Amino acid sequence: METCSIIQTQLPANIPLTSSDLLTEGAPIQPDPPSKHWKPELYFFRDGARIEAAFRKFIHRAPPDQKDDSYELIVCHANVIRYFVMRALQLNPEAWLRLSLDHASITWLSIYPNGRVSLRCYSNSGYMPPEAISR
């Protein structure tokens, strides 16, 4: 919530801030290839269904009757973002750990009414000074 609070100070006052436990950090699925340094087996059995539920709740087409563009700003941990990107692009979700993501970076997915998905930017941290960027 700390990052959300900081971001919210830069947005119009009428944008609501909500929280979801579905977006809590975790290991979404067993990575392929397996990590040599991190053993997430204990976590993906616990976290995988929750993170998949978050994907289904937050990443979807707009309702058929929606006429205008809409935007959802989701602030969460890197593992969740990696998994969302792989699933949204219909790529092998087990490859999520192959993606690197800067902390506090911006990833932008566009989901079109016909179901086409485009990754507009990934791990964009260009707004931060270089010394503030970390992984």
Give 1-7+41-125's CATH code, choosing from 3.40.50.300, 3.60.21.10, 3.40.50.1240, 3.30.590.20.
Answer: 3.40.50.1240
Indicate the domain borders of the chain.
1-7+41-125
Question: Is 111 within 8 Å of 117 (Cβ atoms)?
Answer: yes
The proportion of the chain whose per-residue pLDDT surpasses 70, expressed as a percent, equals: 99
For the stretch 93-117, pLDDT in tens is 999 999 999 998 999 999 998 889 9
Say what the pLDDT of residue 1 is: 62
Rounded Cα–Cα distance for residues 45 and 32 (Å): 15
Rounded Cα–Cα distance for residues 25 and 44 (Å): 11
**Cα angle: 133, vertex 129, 77; to 5 degrees:** 35
Sign of the CA dihedral running 23, 27, 33, 36: positive
For the stretch 124-133, pLDDT in tens is 998 888 888 8
HEC profile for 30-91? CCCCCCCCCCCHHHHHHHHHHHHHHHHHHCCCCCCCCCCCCCCCCCCCHHHHHHHHHHHCCC
